[in-house]
Amino acid sequence: MELLTPALQTYPWGSRTLLTEMRGEPSPSATPEAELWFGSHPAAPATIGGVGLDEVIADDPADQLGAQVRGRYGDSLPFLLKILAADSPLSIQAHPTAAQARAGYEGENAAGIALDAPERNYKDPNHKPELLVALTPFRALAGLRPAKQTLDFFDYLDCPELTRYSAMLHSENEEEGLRALFTTWISLPRPARVEVIEGVRACVDKRAFDGVPGWMREAGRCFVELDDAHPGDVGVLASLLLNFVELAPGEALFLGAGRLHAYLSGMAVEIMANSDNVLRGGLTTKHVDVPELVRITDFSTMADPRVDAEADGGVCAFDVPARDFHLTRYELAAGDGFDAASAGPAIVLCTSGSVDCGPLELNPGMAAWIPASDPDARVSAAGGSAGADVFYARVGE
């Protein structure tokens, strides 16, 4: 086992307190701290002894990855582990399938678009399914809400600016109706979009939201919050179509390819395929490619994006339909531990308490890299510790 030092990403939506306080550092931080990347993605690799994990793997892929992982994924780590800390909303976005990512990456390379160009959509040829597990109360918009529920919401708001679009959701084909409405809204000229948003805002402000399902009240509050932060933005309208989700610590959600989402606030552990491909649709100053986003979006609905995790005592396994990664959370009491050897590489991430990983002691926000060649890896609550929370990330089976 070796200490894995994360790459810090300082995006504007990040928190000045969540990551610093987790790591016991002075708070607030000088700049917003958004993500800690524990992986080998070339855009921001974690390091071992000052050397990028991507270089460590490239120097001896057989030792670091093992034959099984190399046979399936080549000479690269197939997952990226993060801690995400948001004080304000991220962009409304979706991620491509593997085939879409490969075609998009090759197409932009052929067009001569530099990897660091602001208009670049595809930074790598990989898909990006992602699993998020809350460390604090975590708020998100995740997946398209069933059309019937959205129509009920529109009816309750009784807003003429929405009524003129409701007919699209009465389509016999739910997916086509949602595609038509989303495409219409995201393509509106700004003056027309602002008119719709202002009309909806006036109706939301008038409603008491008494005697209606709680999700309607939260959807209304979210609309107002986004309108205050991003007035006139197309993402404010898009939020009316998405599930509002609030996760308690330990709860999780999973998003496969094409699922529209926007994380709003809170801190979480996130694991995904090793990719940085993002197609954005609003709530951002970054590049927005409307046609490409619509093309890769999955317009089927999700009643609830939460993951039913398999819990057994202090062990919680998050089984999701993604072979690139598997994540398990361990709540270790004093003296507890687990074997961390795997057929491939693994990462151990401490989020509370203190754990021993061979010669290393990990405190919150620290991680250890376990190469495939380490058959005796073990993790245990550190001596004298009252316990610890640990995430164990490895390649799926």
Q: Phi and psi of 394, rounded to 5°?
A: -145, 180
Q: Does 117 lie in the same domain as 46?
A: yes
In this prediction, residue 311 carries a pLDDT of 84
Do the annotations mark residue 64 as ligand-binding?
A: no
Do the annotations mark residue 130 as ligand-binding?
A: yes
Largest Cα separation within the chain, whole Å, is 66
Mean pLDDT within 20-48: 97
Q: Does 254 lie in the same domain as 118?
A: yes
Mean pLDDT within 364-368: 98
Spell out the residues 6+ positions from residue 41 whose beta carbon is closer than 8 angstroms to its own: 54, 80, 124, 274, 275, 276
- Using an 8 Å Cβ cutoff, are 269 and 133 in contact? yes
Q: Does 292 lie in the same domain as 253?
A: yes
Question: Annotated catalytic residue: which of 179, 193, 259, 280?
Answer: 280
Q: Does 134 lie in the same domain as 153?
A: no
Token pair, residue 232, equals: 């006139």
> Is 280 annotated in the active site?
yes
Q: Does 191 lie in the same domain as 330?
A: no
Q: In the structure, what pLDDT confidence band is assigned to residue 226 with cuts at 50, 70 and 90?
A: very high
Last residue of a domain, one of 192, 211, 240: 240
Last residue of a domain, one of 240, 255, 270: 240
Domain CATH code at residue 267? 2.60.120.10
Q: Give how many domains the chain has, as a whole number.
A: 3
| Single-letter amino acid code for the residue at 277 | N
Q: Does 232 lie in the same domain as 258?
A: no
Last residue of a domain, one of 286, 307, 328: 307
- Using an 8 Å Cβ cutoff, are 302 and 144 in contact? yes
Q: Does 102 lie in the same domain as 18?
A: yes
Number of C-alpha atoms within 13 angstroms, CB side, residue 332? 30
Q: What pTM was computed for the model? A: 0.95
In angstroms, what is the C-alpha Rg of the chain?
22
Q: In the structure, what pLDDT confidence band is assigned to residue 39 with cuts at 50, 70 and 90?
A: very high
Q: Does 41 lie in the same domain as 123?
A: yes
Q: In the structure, what pLDDT confidence band is assigned to residue 375 with cuts at 50, 70 and 90?
A: confident
Mean pLDDT within 80-94: 97
Q: Does 369 lie in the same domain as 294?
A: no
Do the annotations mark residue 176 as ligand-binding?
A: no
Q: Does 259 lie in the same domain as 126?
A: yes
> Residues in the chain, how many?
397
In this prediction, residue 342 carries a pLDDT of 86
Q: Does 214 lie in the same domain as 82?
A: no
**DSSP type of residue 37:** E
In this prediction, residue 310 carries a pLDDT of 80
Could you report the per-residue pLDDT of 318-353, keeping only the tens digit for each?
999 999 999 999 999 988 999 998 889 999 999 999
Do the annotations mark residue 95 as ligand-binding?
A: yes
In this prediction, residue 397 carries a pLDDT of 85
Q: Does 137 lie in the same domain as 157?
A: no
Q: What is the 3-state secondary structure (H, E, C) of 255-315?
A: ECCCCCEEEEEEEEEEEEECCCCCEEEECCCCCCCHHHHHHHCCCCCCCCCECCCEEECCE
Could you report the per-residue pLDDT of 232-261, keeping only the tens digit for each?
999 999 999 999 999 999 999 999 999 999
In this prediction, residue 175 carries a pLDDT of 96
Token pair, residue 44, equals: 């921001």
Could you report the per-residue pLDDT of 191-218, keeping only the tens digit for each?
999 999 999 999 999 999 999 999 999 9
Task: Please check the confidence at residue 385 and state whether its pLDDT lies above 80.
Answer: no
Structural domain harbouring 363: 313-394
Could you report the per-residue pLDDT of 88-131, keeping only the tens digit for each?
999 999 999 999 999 999 999 999 999 999 999 999 999 999 99
Cα(139)–Cα(263) distance, rounded to whole angstroms? 6
